[in-house]
Amino acid sequence: MSSPDIIRQALPPELSGMVRSVRFADGVATIVADAGALGRSAAAQLQKELEQAAAAVPGVTEVRVALMSERVKRRIVAVGSGKGGVGKSTLTANLAVALAKMGRKVGVVDADIYGPSQVMLLDPARGKPRAEGNTLIPVESEFGVKLLSMAQLVEGGKAIAWRGPMVGQALTQMMEADWGDAELLLVDLPPGTGDVQLTMLQKFKPDGALIVTTPQDLALIDATRAIDLFSQAKIPVVGMVENMAGYICPHCGEASDPFGLGGAEAAARALGHEFLGRVPLHMAIRVASDTGQPPAANDGEQGRVFAAIAGRVAQWLDSNKG
């Protein structure tokens, strides 16, 4: 005759940490396991292994496996700007890496459908996502960040000439992918206030938005427009980051301010938003980014800049649990 203990012993030892309870009555083994930290495919695999192991125990005629999935409450933070080329993608990639270094489980959605850049920034190995049915499984980059980007799904160098509805579908596939244990999705938005932004705001309602700007007046005006878009959709602004602030000469190390200094901080204050930090305009950031080596992965000077901003984002996430 079988018993809960005998069944428990028959289960693969490496799964024992996830098994919460085992019951046995009238030939029916009921196993409750915790699949909270697992993605969909890993949870299905767990279920199969438990079923097979328990079914092999003499006296067991039926196995019922219940998986508890205390779903990871996944937060979404969109990184936006009104103007193009201000460093949204660079900041997204480096923040993701810095947060992962702090132990956070982070995924990056490259929502720039027409001009994706996250593969270059985060995954120099150029992994391809797998698909299970209609569900995409993100690529795990070498920096501990999960990633989905249009660039992984289309041939390199091909122009993407899609209309609005297809763009919405692509974004939805990426947002609804199997992000597994990721607790935070950072979404790298395209510049401006177009279709992708609207789908993002209406359908996926980010928990917060991070606004990137440069110190130029024009970029600041555009940033204000981006903030307005998020405010209208009632998306809280996590804060503003000033990028390309102060030029550091690679030869002599002297700092100068070709676009002025402190504009973004003043604008953030005037608009009642948090100022999260300033990333200097530094050749090393561009060079490292182009070769898929995000400076945030290192503990050097630039790494520390991104780590400080990531710290403030983490603080915001912890104190705004919704």
Ligand X SMILES: Nc1ncnc2c1ncn2[C@@H]1O[C@H](COP(=O)(O)OP(=O)(O)OP(=O)(O)O)[C@@H](O)[C@H]1O
Positions 235 through 274 that interact with ligand X (CB under 6 A): 243-244
How would you classify the pairing of strands 146-149 and 139-140? Answer: antiparallel
98 binds ligand X (CB under 6 A): no
Selection from ligand X, Mg ion, none that 243 binds (CB < 5 to 8 A by kind) is ligand X
Chain mean position to CA 111: 11
Residue of the chain from 110, 112, 178, 222 that contacts ligand X (CB under 6 A):
112
For residue 273, which of 312, 238, 233 has the smallest C-alpha distance? 238
Bridge partners (DSSP) listed for residue 21: 32
Choice between 33 and 241, CB closer to ligand X: 241
Looking only at residues 96 through 115 of this chain, which bind Mg ion when binding is defined by CB under 5 A? none
- Amino acid, single-letter form, for residue 13: P
Q: Which does 289 bind (CB under 5 to 8 A by kind): Mg ion, ligand X, none?
A: ligand X
Quick one: which of 282, 292, 296, 297 contacts ligand X (CB under 6 A)?
282
Note whether 115 binds ligand X by CB under 6 A: yes
Strand partners, 109: 148, 187
For position 126 contacting ligand X by CB under 6 A, the verdict is no
Grouping H, G, I as helix, E, B as strand and the rest as coil, residue 93 is: helix
- What is the H or E stretch that residue 65 is in? strand 62-68
Which residue, 125, 111, 314, 82, is CA-closest to 218? 82
**Is there binding between residue 213 and Mg ion (CB under 5 A)?**
no
Q: How many residues sit close enough to ligand X to count as binding (CB under 6 A)? A: 21
Q: Which of ligand X, Mg ion, none does residue 286 bind to, with CB < 5 to 8 Å depending on kind? A: ligand X
97 lies in the binding site for ligand X (CB under 6 A): no
- Whether 181 and 38 have beta carbons less than 8 Å apart is answered as yes
Helix H or strand E encompassing 87 = none
Residue list 6-45, contact with ligand X (CB under 6 A): none
Residues contacting 166, CB < 8 A, separation 6+: none
- Give the Cα separation of 277 and 242 in Å (integer): 6
Least CB distance to ligand X at residue 285 (A): 4
> Of the candidates 50, 57, 78, 89, which one interacts with Mg ion according to CB under 5 A?
89
The one among 12, 27, 85, 124 contacting ligand X by CB under 6 A: 85
Q: How far is the CB of 231 from Mg ion (least distance, A)?
A: 22
**Which amino acid, 45?**
Q
Which does residue 206 bind out of ligand X, Mg ion, none, counting CB within 5 to 8 angstroms by kind? Answer: none
Which amino acid, one-letter code, is at 134? N
Partner that binds at residue 201, options ligand X, Mg ion, none, CB closer than 5 to 8 Å by kind: none
Return d(Cα 228, Cα 293) in angstroms, integer: 33
Q: Which of 47, 94, 117, 199 binds ligand X (CB under 6 A)?
A: 117
Q: Nearest approach, Cβ of 259 to ligand X (angstroms)?
A: 12
What's the CA gap between 135 and 150, in Å, rounded? 15
Confirm or reject binding of residue 243 to Mg ion (CB under 5 A): no
Radius of gyration of the chain (CA): 23
CB of 117 to ligand X, least distance (A): 5
Pairing assessment for the beta strands 28-34 and 19-25 based on DSSP bridges? antiparallel
Q: Is 277 in the site for ligand X (CB under 6 A)?
A: no
Tell me which residues touch ligand X (CB under 6 A): 81, 84-90, 112, 115, 117, 190-191, 243-244, 279, 281-282, 285-286, 289
